[in-house]
Structure 1
């Protein structure tokens, strides 16, 4: 693989590690403690602050701010970091912050994600793989996002909330509770569940039987009118024949925030 290509106007700290075939654009600043994997492209006018590790074959577009200090008044300069996987697309003016000393110390973003313009991932968040964050989508601190999650434009997620695998958050929805796997959430003041993400599941190869089981689980929890304990008991029965329903049940039972219902 070819050597890294660094524009003459870029500023790269001597301690930074730049992988083979990586490129650094004009007027970009790469700070101390930064590792950039092979084949990753960093566009013009970006800043990457360490400790930050970026994997292979990512594409960071212009004016992104990667690895900045957490926006937390309690932060006192502790050694905290940001870790980014492989093959992510990070568009213009995206901001990704490092963790905090009392929040785990690390923000993690997986692989094969698309983070579109002006998205923000705050301190101590964990983002899975194959997610799409549309323009201006925002995560507050300590949010956990599963795999194959879509956040539409201007969606916002409250701190400490969890978003389960395959969930779809609609445009402008504000999420202030946990969103179980497979759900769709739409704007209604704060976001509220509005069915399952059936179209997205079909695109990912879920057959009619699996989708029907997920739909039955949704009805048990979100449409039955029963108290959550009663709905969980019904969900446990449904989970005996479905790994997908088991995933929903495990998610609901593992949260500290209220479930968004």
Structure 2
């Protein structure tokens, strides 16, 4: 019987107990201890295994706010479903821990993985670096006898624009109010705002914060913005900025479809 990705995910994902975390700390170079003694609230970690026949990793997250706990996933680096499994894990973390942004967590794990691979003499190239060769018949030759490993990173703006089916690119209806969402790539926070010209608003914010990008907008009554602020009041960080999960964004999409 074929194993579904759901089965595969549940078979590779585990909860870390306090004793597990203390054991990991003995082999760690500092981040876990920082959580244990209260210097940091949380940390990400990667344990890399290379037996020359296969590359595998254990990617874990530890949170010290309140009860010490964490989660871990075991993955084969060259598994065709690696990307989907890791993203599922990061979404799970974001659902369970309010400090976690799924996309930032994904990129954090990938960056740590890249460091381990390069240290083992394995040449890496990222999905972002390969963009300059898109549409070309480029051939990449590895300087390492162990070949090349492509490391996928997530561009938050593009991910969210695609998530909302590119409605951010729709023409603006002049003279009408629009509710918009913007993401700050540095923090992962989402801005819920309104304007009769979201494009101009984005440019204004972009001049002060280059990492802010529009990811969705809807032409609607201006009171919709206030309703969304009320719905997600517990997720507010400051002003119009919220720490929203993918589940929250799905809720926003459904809400906007109903108004």
TM-score bracket, normalised by the shorter chain, equals: under 0.3
Which has more helix, going by share of residues?
2
What's the TM-score once normalised by structure 2's chain length? Answer: 0.27
The structure having more radius of gyration, on CA atoms, is 2
